[in-house]
Amino acid sequence: MSNKNYRRAVDWVVDSIQGNEQPLTHLEEKRKDDIITFQAFIGRRVFQVESIEHENEYGPTHYDTLPHQAALAIAKFSESAPKVFDYAIEICARNVIAGKPVPLGLRFLAADVLKGKAKRPTPRHRESNPDFLRLMTIHDFVLDVESLFHLSITRNDVSPGISACDAVAEGLSEAGYDTKYSLLKDLMVHQRFHLVRKQIEVARQVLQTDWQAVDWDSHESVTNALSKSGLLEAET
């Protein structure tokens, strides 16, 4: 593979970032409290969780609103998915702090937690809290570069230093988002990112689903949509 083709790949990454009308702020490394997890991504895209800015005697804050059936679905998910449980409780806590009602579909869960009846489910695997939206964007960049410029995903003996991961890491760094090859390589092939890659597959299906067509007042409609998108079987 020629260095010229590799350079075109790097330039394409830079142009894709700098030519975007909106700054790709999700490419920036963030504090733990500011990252967008897989659960938050799904909450916004699927369950129509809307965060509303608010100010009370404690200062600026925000609270969340969502359809009733969506809240019920999150509560149901929380019975077996630890991170969804955390997400549901965070919604309840934010609304309490803001002085706003806890969504009706989450009230029984919140009450059971306060009474000690509901507990966080045991994780099925080692837990982490990656910045999901950032990783999914980088992952997609690597796959696009592989396809458009016919580069191997990672380095090999034939083309050391000339791979899709190298091109994306260099392009991101030139665009102002300092990124190491090792992170991209691990994201694409290492076992520790296996769950993230599975979640990215589910996220793609979620993005292709017409959630506006879901009747959130119908349990059957909600269940069918979640099943078709792969969320019912997704590891969270």
Structure token digits, residue 95? 């609304």
- Distance CA(147)–CA(167), nearest Å, equals 13
Predicted pLDDT of residue 22: 55
Model confidence pLDDT, tens digit, residues 116-163? 999 998 876 665 557 888 899 999 999 999 999 999 999 876 667 789
Q: Which distant-in-sequence residues (6+ apart) come within 8 Å of 131 by Cβ?
A: 26, 29, 30, 35, 36, 37
Q: Is the pLDDT of residue 232 over 70?
A: no
Q: What is the mean pLDDT of residues 46-52?
A: 85
Report pTM: 0.72
Contact 188, 39 (CB under 8 A): no
Share of the chain above pLDDT 70, in %: 87
Predicted pLDDT of residue 36: 73
| Mean predicted lDDT score pLDDT of the chain | 84
Say which range, 22-26, 63-67, 214-218, has the weakest mean pLDDT.
22-26
Predicted pLDDT of residue 218: 79
